Amino acid sequence: MLVVAALGGNALLERGQPLTAENQRANARRAAAALAEIVHAGHDLVITHGNGPQVGLLALQGAAYKPDEAYPLDVLGAESGGMIGYMIEQELENALNHARPVATLLTQVVVDGTDPAFQAPTKFIGPVYERAEAEARAAAAGWSIAQDGDKWRRVVPSPKPVEIPDIRVLKLLLDQGVIVICTGGGGIPVLRDKDGGLTGIEAVIDKDAASALLAQELGADALLLLTDVPAVMTDFGTSEQAEIGEISPDDALTLDLPAGSMRPKVAAAAEFAGSGGMAGIGRLDSALDILDGKAGTRIVSVKSDKRTE
């Protein structure tokens, strides 16, 4: 079975943790241990990951330059993809005792320059701030900001991914038995011009949407969206909250879910499941159990005999 596993931001940084190399390394090691179980079970694996905290930090570091010397978000996305990919690659190689080759591929993802997302930034990047500090930073740097829980963060455009031109390279690697880490941070956002050339664009693509597109283009059997909650919940945050074990793509899209967290995951999962695969959402540590129908939420077009409570 070919599995695409998308690691949430918590794979390398838990909310509230300092963005240090040591913390990211420790979390990458934990992620690698969970992913290695999928490989040990006999499955082929493609790994994607988020980069919101990391790309935001790189942007803050770039603010130390003159405005015309700061690197754009597509370049920062490539930088963060290389950094995170390196950590996951090394830790997964160690977890597998170097029995399988692992490679990181910086992945370009085409977006539409007319996507309305460019006029309405929604993608969180960087650290969280108290509102007053966020507003001061936004005023100084020309940011857009939005509330994230009880804090505030910078938001940037998050256009829909429409094409993954590097899919040919990915398939070549998979044909050779390579475990591939790719589409980091949703991929490097690029535009395709009328002559077919590619050029970078200021944006950060949603990792889950890009992972669903990737899984579809690869013909994957399963898409796992791994996060820090056990499953999709009904009535989340209330005394009536309950885990959803299994649900159809159509029913999943009718759920009343928070726009900034679970809703994009469920939308991406439903899109992939609608093409015939199985999409699962749940804790990183439960990755193999989600795949086996023993944990998390499974979104499938045809109801299975797996857990439904």
Name the residue among 143, 139, 264 with its Cα closest to residue 202: 143
Q: Which of 8, 9, 52, 280 is catalytic?
A: 9
Q: Measuring CA to CA, which residue among 227, 218, 214 is closest to residue 280?
A: 227
CA atoms within 13 Å, Cβ hemisphere of 293:
12
Contact 208, 262 (CB under 8 A): no
Q: Element (H or E) spanning 85, and its range?
A: helix 73-95
Does the active-site annotation cover 10? Answer: yes
Residue from 123, 186, 187, 274 carrying the catalytic annotation: 123
Write down the residue that tokens 């015309």 correspond to.
68
> Is 306 tagged catalytic?
no
Two structure tokens written together for 266: 């469920």
Identify the active-site residue in 27, 51, 126, 207.
Answer: 207
**Catalytic-role residue among 8, 77, 187, 265:** 265
Neighbour tally for 113: CB within 10 Å: 13
Establish whether 303 is a catalytic residue.
Answer: no
Token couple for 105: 């591929």
Active site residue 56: no
94 part of the active site: no
Which positions are catalytic? 9-10, 123, 207, 265
